[in-house]
Structure 1
Amino acid sequence: MTNPLARLRVLLVDDNIRTIDLVKTMLRGFGFEQFYEATNIADAQQILRTKPVDLVLLDYILGPEEGVTLARWIRANPASKHEDVPIIMLTGHADRARVVAARDSGVNEICVKPFTPADLMKRMLTTFESPRPFIRNPGGYVGPDRRRHNDPKYKGPDRRRGPAMI
């Protein structure tokens, strides 16, 4: 029986080639076989314009750039050809402001460095097996629904009951 992960193409975006190699080693252990690598946003954009990609693993800090810039470009730019590709942010900077910025840029999951293979696999399983609805708000947010839970105690206006923006 073939491993279904072997057919998935992963784009790894990190300015540290050692980190890319480490993550590739983890992914190979899971059964992934196809990788693209980029150390900056421009190279990642070129790959996304020209290659099929099934998953993006993206560092928050890319030298002078921020990974959320690439995540926003992927989500809002038809030239990316991957508006709905799952994006997992890998970051050693998990302060609240950065987590919120990653969420608001359309990232599916965040994995905090240092992480174990089990941590990474958990984020990937959540992304693939329990995807949140994808939102396309013209002129606004594009990405997975940022709300993870329905709060039965919430008594305010319920915008989820309005017309679907999917």
Structure 2
Amino acid sequence: MLRVLVVDDNTHMTSILRTVLNSFGIRNVDEVRGAVEALELIRTRSYDFVLLDYNMPILDGIELTRLIRTGRDHNQQMIPIIMITGFTERSRVISARDAGVTEVCVKPVTARDLWNRIAEIINAPRPFVRSKNYTGPDRRRHKDVEFSGKERRQAREQAAGISA
């Protein structure tokens, strides 16, 4: 049976998410209003995935994701994270991806969209990457038609003016 953590400071949104999750047959749903409470639960319980809001006081969803991914006081660095957000600007989505978010679900959330994101993390989990600069699911989703192999990164770095 799946266990889910919902992190959102908006009680109306957590109620909606709980109702949708319950309609999927997911009954083990814990709700918290912020990042501090979320980290406490992550330290003491196991979850199959986390749903979290982008915009929260104190620590936002990006900061919380980074803390989960780099946490040394728990064993859930690899937990799938679905970010729920009304911010759809490319820069914010890239920021979420680069923090280690597994999937993004745009508000207003529909049951179908949420189901598709959950199905994706269960049926087609992405490899997990641990490197000096990034910890999280593999960020590559599509094959880059311009480059393949190890030269791809080197070419991008050269184009950006970064020495190899």
- Please tell me the TM-score bracket, short chain as reference: 0.7 to 0.9
Q: How far off is 1:97 after superposition?
A: 1.7
- 1:61 and 2:55 correspond: yes
Which residue of structure 2 aligns with residue 117 of structure 1?
111
Q: CA RMSD in A?
A: 1.4
- 1:150 and 2:143 correspond: yes
- Structure 1: where are the runs of 5+ without partners? 1-6, 160-166
- 1:71 and 2:59 correspond: no
Q: How far off is 1:80 after superposition?
A: 3.1
- 1:141 and 2:128 correspond: no
- Structure 2: where are the runs of 5+ without partners? 154-164
Which residue of structure 2 aligns with residue 164 of structure 1?
none
- 1:39 and 2:27 correspond: no
Paired with 2:75 and 2:128, the residues of 1 have a C-alpha distance of 16
Q: How far off is 1:96 after superposition?
A: 1.5
1:46-75 deviations in Å (ceiling 9; x for gaps):
000111111100100012431011100111
2:97 partner SS: helix
Larger mean CA deviation between 30-39 and 73-82 belongs to 73-82
Letter in 2 for 1:33: R
Paired with 2:112 and 2:51, the residues of 1 have a C-alpha distance of 15
Contact 1:72 1:105 in 2 (8 A): yes
1:65 partner SS: coil
- 1:128 and 2:138 correspond: no
Which residue of structure 2 aligns with residue 87 of structure 1?
81
1:61 partner SS: coil
Letter in 1 for 2:76: H
TM-score normalised by L of structure 1:
0.87
Which residue of structure 1 aligns with residue 158 of structure 2?
none
1:12 partner SS: strand
